[in-house]
């Protein structure tokens, strides 16, 4: 009888451990997960590709999934009329986590008015919240939808295909916030943590909501909460992000936009794929625009106060002809 009870107790422990999201398990267990190999990654580039899905001349990719019905669904989520910014402040000085700040100056200030100017030397820099278009990243000379990047994007002419100008009419859709620190009750995750499908689906179960076709997936790990607590650090060398094994799940869910506080996890385990593997795959193969370097702390608080993790998302990138991205102030509306 004692042996039976002991066996049952051991089984219960095993079941309990198996049901715990990977984020709350020890680093040693997570380190034991197999890494996605380059062979798998290259195979997925063919098996999971959205090239040609919306026609050979398409330049907006998964934004095709944001139909008028999807926009109406997003608008129906507005109950309180509260709007929340999802951007970080534009850095105006060089910092350890913002190595390429914007250049701002007041060029005129009189009793009758004032005028200033601003320039972004690095739209895709580590300190700026921005939207990536498909002219930003290529695989072996090919960009989104199979366009020849060597002729479609040049230093002198910019992006004649897949530019941010293609998004000029704005983007309005349903967004779902995946708040990973709230999954396990911590203020932020530790750099190097990888987020798996199991973690995302554990959050869906906890929050009672999940992302689907045409939606925006917003991933929060607490970058800015950590910065508030510990100060700035070299963000490209210490961050949290999707494990590369999430790629097929992103394809299956048919998301139209992905937003995150950092585009990858770091440091990388030995033998891992090159940095930004998910970032690059999403843009080039899935045709999913990316909200890069966002700040989801305020929207996390607003969502938690309402116990509602879905809301309308509004994006209005600048109309930059032939640009590969745009500074962005995403707005969530509850």
Q: Is 121 exposed, middle or buried (0-12, 13-18, 19+ CB in 10 A)?
A: exposed
**Rounded CA separation 46/146 (Å):** 11
**Rounded CA separation 91/97 (Å):** 10
Whether pLDDT at 136 is above 50: yes
Q: What is the pLDDT of residues 215-264, one digit of tens each?
A: 999 999 999 999 999 999 999 999 999 999 999 999 999 999 999 999 99
With contact defined as beta carbons under 8 Å apart, do 110 and 312 qualify?
no
Whether pLDDT at 103 is above 90: yes
Instruction: For residues 297-325, give the mean pLDDT.
Output: 98
pTM attached to this predicted model: 0.91
**Rounded CA separation 175/313 (Å):** 6
**Rounded CA separation 163/59 (Å):** 8
Tokens of 268: 């990388």
**Which architecture, in CATH terms, is 38-88+129-333?**
3-Layer(bba) Sandwich (3.50)
Segments making up each domain of the chain, as ranges: 38-88+129-333, 90-123
Flag the least confident range among 29-38, 194-203, 271-280, 315-324: 29-38
With contact defined as beta carbons under 8 Å apart, do 230 and 239 qualify?
no
Tokens of 5: 């009870």
Q: Is 186 exposed, middle or buried (0-12, 13-18, 19+ CB in 10 A)?
A: middle
Q: Where are the beta strands (DSSP E) in 92-203?
A: 103-110, 113-119, 130-132, 153-154, 158-159, 171-179, 194-195
Per-residue pLDDT band for 31 (boundaries 50, 70, 90) equals: low
Residue that is written with structure tokens 């869906």 in the block? 204
């Amino acid at each position: 009888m004692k042996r039976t009870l002991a066996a049952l107790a051991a089984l219960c422990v095993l079941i309990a451990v198996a049901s715990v999201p990977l984020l709350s398990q020890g680093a040693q267990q997570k380190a034991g997960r197999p890494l996605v190999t380059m062979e798998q990654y290259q195979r997925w580039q063919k098996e999971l590709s959205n090239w040609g899905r919306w026609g050979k001349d398409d330049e907006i990719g998964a934004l095709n999934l944001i139909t008028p019905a999807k926009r109406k669904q997003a608008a129906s989520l507005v109950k309180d009329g509260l709007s929340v910014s999802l951007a970080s402040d534009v850095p105006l000085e060089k910092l350890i986590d913002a190595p390429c700040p914007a250049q701002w100056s007041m060029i005129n200030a009189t009793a009758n008015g004032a005028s200033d100017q601003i320039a972004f030397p690095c739209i895709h820099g580590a300190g700026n919240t921005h939207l990536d278009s498909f002219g930003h990243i290529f695989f072996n000379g090919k960009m989104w939808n199979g366009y020849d990047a060597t002729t479609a994007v040049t230093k002198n002419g910019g992006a004649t295909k897949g530019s941010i100008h293609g998004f000029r009419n704005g983007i309005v859709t349903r967004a779902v916030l995946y708040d990973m620190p709230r999954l396990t009750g911590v203020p932020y995750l530790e750099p190097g943590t990888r987020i798996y499908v199991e973690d995302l689906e554990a959050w869906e179960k906890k929050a009672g909501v999940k992302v689907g076709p045409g939606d925006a997936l917003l991933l929060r790990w607490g970058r800015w909460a950590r910065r508030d607590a510990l100060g700035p650090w070299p963000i490209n060398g210490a961050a949290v992000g999707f494990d590369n094994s999430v790629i097929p799940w992103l394809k299956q869910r048919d998301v139209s936009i992905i937003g995150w506080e950092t585009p990858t996890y770091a440091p990388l385990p030995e033998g891992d794929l090159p940095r930004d593997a998910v970032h690059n795959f999403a843009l080039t193969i899935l045709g999913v625009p990316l909200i890069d370097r966002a700040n989801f702390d305020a929207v996390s608080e607003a969502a938690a106060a309402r116990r509602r993790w879905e809301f309308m998302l509004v994006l209005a990138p600048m109309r930059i002809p032939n640009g590969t991205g745009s500074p962005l102030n995403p707005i969530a509306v509850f």
